[in-house]
A and B are shown apart, each in its own frame.
Chain A
Amino acid sequence: MAVAAEAQPIPSAPRRPPDRFRYVAGAAATVAPAALVLVVLNLLQQAGPALHHFGVGFLVGTDWNPVKDSFGALPAVVGTVATAFLALALALPIGVAVAVVLAEQGQARLRGVIGTAIELLAAIPSVVYGIWALYVLAPWSFQHLEVPISVHSGGIGWLAQPATRSLFNASLVLAVMILPTLTAISRDVIRGVPRGLKENAVALGATWWETTWKVILPSARNGIFGATILALGRALGETIAVTMVIGNRYVIPHSIFESAYTLASVIANEFNEATGTLYPAALVELGLVLILVTLVVNFGALVLVHTITRESRSSA
């Protein structure tokens, strides 16, 4: 016993305390996903009365009459989808062209200035685009684009009936607003195209344009598609600027130059004045439709873009 007591035990290093920080920090990181889930659940709850009352018919109904408590989402859905796709059609060629220019080698300073300017487009608040569109862009576009196009088209239905506050003018502002998203992601994807591909094309005697059009853009296609979908998500959910120029007319538009309405705009304009049970619930249900569509769109686009950037990083 005494001998054993005399032998000095080798002092073991103090045991590291369990890493509690990991769980605290993990909890902080989970706040954002939790907020996303809570938003959807809360909107489901708020929209409850409308969901029960109208069922699936809400999505195909065309009436919006608070006096008779008759609500249908179709005109707003059509307006939202139409403005977003029209904006995309306007912005996509320009966005990809800028991305091609920015992804080029050389002239680093000039490209830096252009890149910064495009990113600043994303920083300008929506409401500032709104006031600019309302007082500058829409009147100009009405006079110099809508009326001439409408007159010269010789009575084509979907180009008739120009108005200052119109679906087309809303799409114009949206196109400006989604341009930075399109450009930034497309540029990164184009930069990620393996150098070897480009060098092979050049070595075979292809011109700059042939290399870009036939080699680089095809191999960046999926990434540009992802960028497009992401921009679509932004365009679908944009509220204030669109609300100020779309004309707020709850009818399925027959022409792109007519006034229309979007899901977000209806909510922005009417929610604070909505009384009763069914009216606010119907407005929240519009919001629910909007958020579910943008969730699906964004989720798909992000998975696509992440996969592509990871692939290009591992192959580079």
Chain B
Amino acid sequence: MNRTARRRAINGMSLGLMYVLTLVALVPLGLVLWFTVARGLPSVLHLEFFTNTFRPVGIPGAGVSNALVGTGILVGLASVMAIPVGIVGGVYLAEYGIARWAAWVRLATDVLVGTPSIAIGLFVYGLVVLRMHHFSGVAGSIALAILMLPIVIRTTEGAVALIPNGLRESGLALGLPRWRVSLQLIVPAAAPGVITGALLAVARASGETAPLLFTTLGNTLFSVDPTHTLQALPLTVYQYALTPYKSLQDQAWGAALVLVMMVLGINLISRWVLRRQIRLAGQL
């Protein structure tokens, strides 16, 4: 075989290999989705799954309503804590972010994104649970808020940075103070990007288990009181999956299915919102 033919053959094989490896990378996503749906759907198809709570093994009609409501309360409280602070913080980094100080803040924020969530759980245990002398939903939502905050900050910054300077300058030229320009002109203009960040943070928080283990603890009963223990969907999956009982394992798969649908739904919606934002910002 001559040299050119060999080079061409190597080129073709390598290209093929790259595409095969890409396919290999997509296999796990397909498998996770397939098994979650196949194993979870039978549980989810019963209405009791959404209206009832824990039943002992052998008694029919078990459900995860406590976990659904608990996740809603935990993530809702965490959002109230993290999203406003995160948006204002992100505006700061985008509007005043040339300072050396801001570069450090940005780096530390990115480091916080990669901090093990179990360590955040230990921190909130020491900070809240030890002082209050009992586990609580509030403690869990503080832990989730710490995880959400850096995501909101960085996506808000990205969205605000896309807004052209002309808008800022017209606001300032009209004599508006800086805070009104930022919060009443820039943030609304960047709203889709900001909302995307908030949604992604909500999705991340809804799926977290590790920071809830030592803070919210879990609860087999139906409860809406965040000053006491609450159940959450990820906790249900974790606790039930590790039991030896088929009926509880089925519940775990069902809860996993609900969780995956929620998280993927939020992700796909936010993706769509973001694409619109980029197109709109291009027209400004």
Give A residues with C-beta under 8 Å from B. Answer: 16-17, 19-22, 24-26, 28-33, 35-36, 38-39, 42-43, 45-46, 93-95, 97-98, 100-101, 114, 116-121, 123-132, 134-137, 176, 179, 183, 207-210, 212-213, 230, 233-234, 236-240, 244, 264, 267-268, 271-272, 284, 287, 290-291, 294-295, 298-299, 302-303, 306
Contact = CB atoms under 8 A, between A and B. Distances in A.
B238 A127 contact: yes
Nearest to B39: A135
Interface string B11-37: 100110111011011101101100110
Contact of A131 (B25, B125, B146, B237): B237
Given A26-B92, A134-B241, A207 B8 contact: yes
Q: Which of A98, A126, A127, A236 has the most CB of B within 10 A?
A: A127
Interface residues of B, number: 85
Contacts of B178: 19, 21-22
Listed from nearest, the 10 A-B pairs whose CB atoms lie closest are: A125-B207, A237-B116, A21-B179, A33-B108, A25-B92, A97-B21, A29-B89, A207-B11, A28-B88, A28-B89
22 contacts: A17-B177, A21-B179, A29-B90, A31-B89, A32-B109, A39-B123, A118-B26, A119-B267, A123-B267, A125-B209, A126-B234, A127-B207, A129-B32, A131-B252, A212-B14, A239-B116, A239-B210, A264-B116, A268-B118, A268-B213, A284-B122, A299-B111
Given A125-B259, A264-B210, A299-B107, A237 B241 contact: no
Contacts of B237: 127-128, 130-131
Contact of A25 (B96, B256, B267): B96
Q: Which of A29, A95, A176, A209 has the most CB of B within 10 A?
A: A29
Contacts, number: 258
Contacts of A95: 25
A132 B32 CA distance: 6
Chain B interface main SS type: helix
Q: Which of A126, A131, A135 has the most CB of B within 10 A?
A: A131
A42 B115 CA distance: 15
Given A19-B178, A21-B177, A114-B22, A123 B264 contact: yes
A194 to B, nearest CB: 22
Contacts of A132: 31-32, 35-36
A121 B119 contact: no
A292 to B, nearest CB: 10
Contacts of A213: 14
B127 interface: yes
A46 B24 CA distance: 44
Contact of B271 (A116, A130, A234): A116
Nearest to B82: A31
B153 interface: yes
Given A210-B7, A271-B214, A29 B238 contact: no
A290 B109 CA distance: 18
A94 B267 contact: no
A119 B21 CA distance: 16
B149 interface: yes
Contact of A21 (B18, B110, B182, B263): B182
A290 B119 contact: yes
A295 B114 CA distance: 8
B114 to A, nearest CB: 4
A42 B127 contact: yes
A17 B179 CA distance: 11
A263 to B, nearest CB: 9
Given A132-B35, A291-B119, 18 more contacts: A25-B89, A25-B91, A25-B95, A29-B90, A29-B102, A33-B105, A33-B108, A35-B112, A116-B271, A124-B263, A127-B238, A135-B249, A209-B14, A239-B117, A271-B125, A295-B111, A298-B111, A299-B111
A47 B123 CA distance: 11
A97 B115 CA distance: 27
A46 B35 contact: no
B237 to A, nearest CB: 5
Nearest to A26: B92
Contacts of B253: 131
B11 A32 contact: no
A5 B30 CA distance: 85
A38 B112 CA distance: 12
B273 interface: no
A264 B122 CA distance: 11
A131 B92 contact: no
Q: Which of B104, B105, B114, B256 has the most CB of A within 10 A?
A: B114
Nearest to A30: B105
